[in-house]
Amino acid sequence: MSENPPRIEEVPDDDAQPLTGEPVGPAPMRLRAEPPRVTRLSRKVLAGLGLVASVGLGGALIYALQT
């Protein structure tokens, strides 16, 4: 069996602040919430999506009427 090497105690960083038990101050009071993030689509993208949807619906209609 192998022996475990002795543990080295972790030394706290110099930048670490000691815990004083004081509560953290509340966030500043705001009257309104953050506005929602909006994804803006260009007219070309909307026209393309409309074209694809109309071709799909038209194709489904033609297929349904032929069978």
> pLDDT of the chain along its 67 residues, tens only?
567 666 666 655 556 666 676 777 777 787 888 888 888 889 999 999 999 999 999 999 999 999 7
State residue 7's pLDDT score: 64
What Cα–Cα distance (Å) separates residue 5 from each residue in 9, 10, 11, 14, 58?
12, 15, 18, 26, 75
State residue 28's pLDDT score: 78
State residue 65's pLDDT score: 96
* Tokens matching residue 8: 């080295």
Residue 26: half-sphere exposure toward Cβ, Cα within 13 Å:
3
Torsion angle (degrees, nearest 10) of CA 15, 18, 21, 26 = 0
State residue 17's pLDDT score: 62
pTM score of the predicted model: 0.44
**What does the DSSP 8-state code read for residue 32?**
S
Query: Which runs of consecutive H residues, i.e. helices, occur in 1-67?
Result: 43-66
